[in-house]
Chains A and B, each alone.
Chain A
């Protein structure tokens, strides 16, 4: 069983819509949760992190964490074509492990 699961996509949304990216994890010892954006041929870039249950907002991005359901999501409001990228969910466990999901490819169509 995969430890961090994401829908591989591609997820396609029209410009201006809300893109919703989901991630589930299996280890209940997971303590830190990250979303990285990766453009084709580039390195991952940290865009959001969340440690506590609830929502965390930063500009057009909102990260949501539900530890009881072992679920973390990323919402991108007012999606732009420049948001088209692969989004990697990563989960930190016990401050000595980090596990990546396979990534979700997002396409925002003008």
Chain B
């Protein structure tokens, strides 16, 4: 299994909603990531988990809250988002550390109304 699975594929939410994005990999990778990507821009790093511990938080607003329940799962909890948070949210994993090849999930296209 060489896939990173993300759900849901599409999400529309209001600014007062709470929702979660989910990511799962079964490649035994020990580093997992959340990236945000706006149209025609490169992926922008949000969070890095290394061996289930949050190692990097790129000054992301607190309305985004990551969680790594175990080595295969990564969640991103969303609360009180703004319309400018609308983007493609990508989960990725790598074998051990950041700087290795990344395997991306198919992404969640998020629209905030």
Contact = CB atoms under 8 A, between A and B. Distances in A.
A46 B98 contact: no
B107 interface: yes
B100 interface: yes
B111 interface: no
Contacts of B40: 103
B106 A95 contact: no
A69 interface: no
A81 B98 CA distance: 33
B100 A95 contact: yes
A92 B45 CA distance: 13
Given A44-B43, A103-B42, A98 B104 contact: no
B66 interface: no
Question: Could you say which interface size class chain B belongs to?
Answer: 10 to 19
A97 B99 contact: yes
A88 B104 CA distance: 13
Contact of A88 (B42, B103, B105): B42
Contacts of B107: 42-43
Contacts of B43: 44, 88, 100
Contacts of B42: 88, 100-103
A46 B101 contact: yes
B100 A32 contact: yes
For the complex of A and B, list the 8 residue pairs with the smallest distance between their C-beta atoms, beginning with the closest: A92-B99, A100-B42, A43-B104, A95-B99, A43-B107, A95-B97, A44-B104, A43-B106
